């Protein structure tokens, strides 16, 4: 059972998946920081000095001066600003993934086109050994019928 698990865990696709998850987590942290620390402050400034992270709806009857005070008191809140930050995070991550998948698909298409272009277009006549088109049914040089390969060449 251990050998079977080791074989499964060390497959190339499993390792690739693990690397993808680790890199995805790191990219997610970078994008979250980009949104919270770089994108949202100027947008909030343009909208009248709004701090999106502190936008909330207080569901309790007690008034709190800030989101942090409501959070510290354990008051029930709907965190609109945090939700907006998460939506912007998601959109940026989705856009990055879209461009990565698009680039990978284009590379695959180019590789497939090269493989098709590298496919042979000629073959050797089994009778006279002359290069002929791969889909030829009769050799243009010795006039042998290539559909009956293995039979003696007609005179």
Distance CA 149, CA 153 (A): 9
User: Hey, how many other C-beta atoms are within 10 angstroms of the C-beta on 62?
Assistant: 9
Distance CA 15, CA 80 (A): 38
H-helix or E-strand spanning residue 114: helix 80-117
- At residue 154, does pLDDT exceed 60? no
The sign one gets for the Cα dihedral 5, 7, 10, 15 is negative
Residue 76 burial (10 A CB sphere; 0-12, 13-18, 19+) = exposed
pLDDT tens, residue by residue, 62-104? 999 888 899 999 999 999 988 988 898 889 888 888 898 899 8
CA distances from 134 to 23, 109, 131 (A): 47, 24, 9
Which is higher by pLDDT, 113 or 46?
46
pTM: 0.57
Distance CA 125, CA 139 (A): 7
Mean pLDDT of 51-70: 88
pLDDT tens, residue by residue, 12-21? 677 778 888 8
pLDDT tens, residue by residue, 123-142? 899 888 999 988 888 888 88
User: Hey, how many other C-beta atoms are within 10 angstroms of the C-beta on 40?
Assistant: 19
């Amino acid at each position: 059972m251990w050998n079977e698990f080791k074989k499964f865990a060390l497959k190339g696709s499993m390792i690739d998946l693990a690397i993808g998850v680790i890199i995805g987590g790191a990219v997610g942290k970078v994008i979250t920081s980009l949104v919270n620390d770089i994108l949202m402050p100027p947008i909030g400034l343009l909208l009248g000095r709004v701090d999106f992270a502190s936008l909330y709806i207080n569901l309790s009857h007690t008034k709190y001066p800030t989101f942090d005070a409501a959070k510290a008191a354990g008051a029930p809140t709907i965190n609109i600003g945090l939700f907006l930050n998460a939506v912007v995070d998601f959109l940026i991550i989705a856009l990055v993934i879209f461009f990565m998948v698009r680039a990978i698909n284009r590379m695959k298409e180019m590789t497939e086109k090269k493989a098709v272009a590298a496919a042979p277009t000629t073959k050797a006549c089994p009778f006279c050994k002359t290069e002929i088109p791969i889909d030829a049914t009769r050799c243009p040089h010795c006039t042998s019928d290539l559909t009956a390969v293995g039979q003696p060449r007609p005179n």
